[in-house]
Structure 1
């Protein structure tokens, strides 16, 4: 079901084309500063750390599980985001989120966080492999994922561990998945191959003030990095769930920007 409020365009035509070409679009003020502050308060409490005492920041990354409190639901379901989902994925082709998934909270720390490799996010398991994310898979019709989303709950500058993005990498990943069939490729295999064939592409950083959301193509190659500044970085990186898989053979040719990008990559 889509929001009744998503009746206006959140993205310009140029932003839609940027999404197709580059694989992501930055939505500023996607949710309010007050909502971001409410979410941070919960995340600080769950982390066991103090926002005002950096001596409590004893690890480079702390992972908080799925949260569904009201502020997180509000952040995920603003009119601006619903309108953007309609534009990028298509009317009635996505499912509203009732939570925001997991949260990698990153802190300034001398230890290697151990999770900074280039990858694309897997989106579905084969039967019997549900418990091991490393065995989850990605296929050409992006079963289980309409978008990758990066929600910023703190202000994120260049030194604050912003997610790294390989611009246009999603187009090359389409080619990798073309011959993999409905079962697709497992996370580690597709990520290793995607890292190799996109190493020459330019980079971008998912930075911005709290309340910013990056809407990314599900095949976008990206990576975490350590915080090199003085501030903690709080974000969520949930999928937008699809209502069905991508359709790359529409008789009416009513392709969404997500589908158009896949088809462009296959040319």
Structure 2
């Protein structure tokens, strides 16, 4: 396979300006689950920048289980992400849901995220292979590691080698947490592929109090970075408030991750 260490013989690094994902730097992606308003996003971006984040996350298009839940602001949300990038210098990662929106999202995003539900949308993955932009490919919540890697291969085989994997938890029989964050997958990916991998302990646990401990565990297992949800006022969030860190919790987690990164020969540049 094109993503195999047997092919590349070295760790692939995805470069985004000065940011290098897959090297010895630990990359922090953070922000609200959804872009809700200009005030909310700019305040969140300010905290991400101040406390050491590198990339701002925020959903303009939101896949929701219920059709009556908040679905995102669409293009207006993308414009707000672009404004936040202009004000803070942070790069932006946001989710693409529909192939009809590829050109639109590609115009605004620095990294295009493909969510769990679209991991095996092969027609969409083929089209992403024709872009010259990093793709953050989240693991499907019921996907095996092999299925996940083969989904990445669709993108790579069609011309785009800038794939970043994201372990975001899988569905198991356990009900104490939202998902089960698969730390095995991180070490396996590092051993068997050349692709960078980050973890999402927010979706992986669904519980604010568990985000920092699992983030540290993921970095110890070999993750190249993390993506977490952070909201200025989680109690008022329109989605996933219960798993979103408060700004002060995010700041504390960064301090702890700095120590963990040093222990595993990575650098957290803040």
Question: What is the TM-score with the length of structure 1 in the denominator?
Answer: 0.26
Q: Which has the higher contact order (CA 8 A, sep 6+)?
A: 1
The structure with the larger Rg is 1
Which structure dedicates a bigger proportion of its chain to helix?
Answer: 2
